[in-house]
Amino acid sequence: MKCEIEQAGGSLIVKLGGEIDQHCAEEIRSNIDRELDLKNSSSLIIDLGEVDFMDSSGLGLIMGRYKKMAARGGTIMLARPKPNVNRLLEMSGIKKLIGRK
Amino acid sequence: MQNYMKLEIPSKSVNEAFARAAVGAFAAQTDLNIDELADIKTSVSEAVTNSIIHGYRDADGTIYIECVIKSGKTCIIEVTIRDEGAGIANVERAMEPLFTTAPDEERSGMGFTVMQSFMDTLDVTSEKGRGTIVKMSKYIRSGDEAAL
């Protein structure tokens, strides 16, 4: 699992990589939340470009960050999911939720 | 022709990756494509995660994994994941999309929905206090037959 975080303007950019499951979801969540609170970012961009595998633990992670951003009036964007990860996102309906903002 | 494998692992979350990789490696002897392989690996990950966090509630326990490949016109890959944990009181409710027993922990409640969507059959048997058996299968048509 890879989780690199950088702030650019008002956006927090999180680059995830490797395999995301329940084993590592908690660590990713606390890393993102710590930076979000520290930087007070108004938008969160999660770059999934290097994620090779994700299960519903990853969906929980994304839904949780969506709720957190929505609560502070911010936005969340998912970028570059691979086909297998994209199918999971499509199936869950999370893309519609995020699209609707 | 029939082939099978059996695995026994302790309910440690670090084994989620091993379980799905092992089943994926065994299933790879069939003619399955990359999407079908991903479907199986994701579904195994969901079932094993359920056993760890709901079945054994993060305590020590054993998870039994069995995979059977039945070759024929349509190849069938059957995966059974069994635990001797807490069991599920109401399987029907547990299988509803977004149902979760732990909303505060950011569970998506999508585990069974993922298994249902990504596999061709899903059968869940559970008894409270005795454990849960998740049996699921994927039908693999060979490239030639699929093109017909």
Domains annotated for chain B, with CATH where assigned, are 2-143 (3.30.565.10)
- List CB contacts (< 8 A) between B23 and chain A: none
pLDDT over 70 percentage in chain B: 94
pLDDT 10s digits, A26-74: 999 999 999 999 999 999 999 999 999 999 999 999 999 999 999 999 9
CA–CA separation, B82 and B64 (whole Å): 5
> What CATH number does the domain containing A15 carry?
3.30.750.24
Interface probe with A: pick from B63, B101, B110, most Cβ of A within 10 Å = B110
Neighbours of A15 (CB within 10 A): 18
Q: Inter-chain contact B117–A91, Cβ cutoff 8 Å?
A: yes
pLDDT at B58: 78
Compute the average pLDDT of residues B135-146: 79
Whole-number average pLDDT of chain B: 92
- List CB contacts (< 8 A) between A96 and chain B: none
Q: Is B68 helix (H, G, I), strand (E, B) or coil?
A: strand
pLDDT at A100: 44
Q: Which residues pair with A45 in a beta bridge?
A: A13, A77
Which range of residues forms the domain containing residue A63?
2-100
- The domain total for chain A is 1
Q: Which tokens in the block code for residue B83?
A: 């635990």
pLDDT at A7: 94
Q: What is the 3-state secondary structure (H, E, C) of chain A?
A: CEEEEEEECCEEEEEEEEEECHHHHHHHHHHHHHHHHHHCCCEEEEEEEEEEEECHHHHHHHHHHHHHHHHCCCEEEEECCCHHHHHHHHHHCHHHHHHHC
- The reply to whether B13 touches chain A by the CB within 8 Å rule is yes
pLDDT at A101: 40
Q: Which tokens in the block code for residue A95?
A: 């893309």
Residue B139 has pLDDT above 70, yes or no: yes
pLDDT 10s digits, B56-104: 997 899 999 999 999 988 999 999 999 999 999 999 999 988 888 776 6
Q: What is the ipTM of this complex?
A: 0.92
